[in-house]
């Protein structure tokens, strides 16, 4: 099973973490949530917002290409980079990944539940 290394994020994962048993065929967003990394997903993973935007620092080429809808959404993401993906749409394959959760999202002034 591939490993996902999550780089440190001040709020969500201050120390960073390594998820050793990422399940292929599952989205990065779902895997992060399963491992108590509370990445935002305001549209409930329907590819209708950019709050789950991540930058894939290593292993980007192993992911299936983003579709047109995801590309259109990514154009609105804060801090867009060439290896940016919406984590709800990026399905893990067999390759280890290094993922960075950007410091801000469009929704960074979210309300706390």
pLDDT in tens, 98-109: 999 998 766 554
Predicted pLDDT at 107: 59
**Structural contact between residues 23 and 1, judged by C-beta atoms closer than 8 angstroms:** yes
Residue 110 lies in a domain: no
Enumerate residues 6+ apart whose C-beta is below 8 A from 46.
88
Residue 79 lies in a domain: yes
14-46: pLDDT as tens digits: 999 999 999 999 999 999 999 999 999 999 999
d(CA 82, CA 16): 22
Residue 108 lies in a domain: no
CATH of the domain at 79: 3.10.20.30
Residue 105 lies in a domain: no
Number of domains in the chain: 1
Q: Residue 66: which domain range?
A: 4-100
Residue 111 lies in a domain: no
Give the pTM.
0.91
d(CA 6, CA 15): 9
């Amino acid at each position: 099973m591939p490993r996902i290394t999550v780089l440190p994020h001040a709020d969500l994962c201050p120390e960073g973490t390594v998820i050793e048993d990422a399940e292929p065929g599952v989205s990065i967003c779902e895997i992060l949530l399963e491992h108590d990394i509370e990445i935002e997903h305001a549209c409930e993973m329907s590819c209708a917002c950019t709050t789950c935007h991540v930058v894939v620092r290593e292993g980007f080429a192993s992911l299936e290409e983003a579709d047109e809808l995801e590309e259109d959404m990514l154009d609105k993401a804060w801090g867009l980079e060439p290896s940016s993906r919406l984590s709800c749409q990026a399905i893990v394959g067999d390759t280890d990944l290094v993922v960075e959760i950007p410091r801000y999202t469009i929704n960074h002034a979210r309300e706390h539940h």
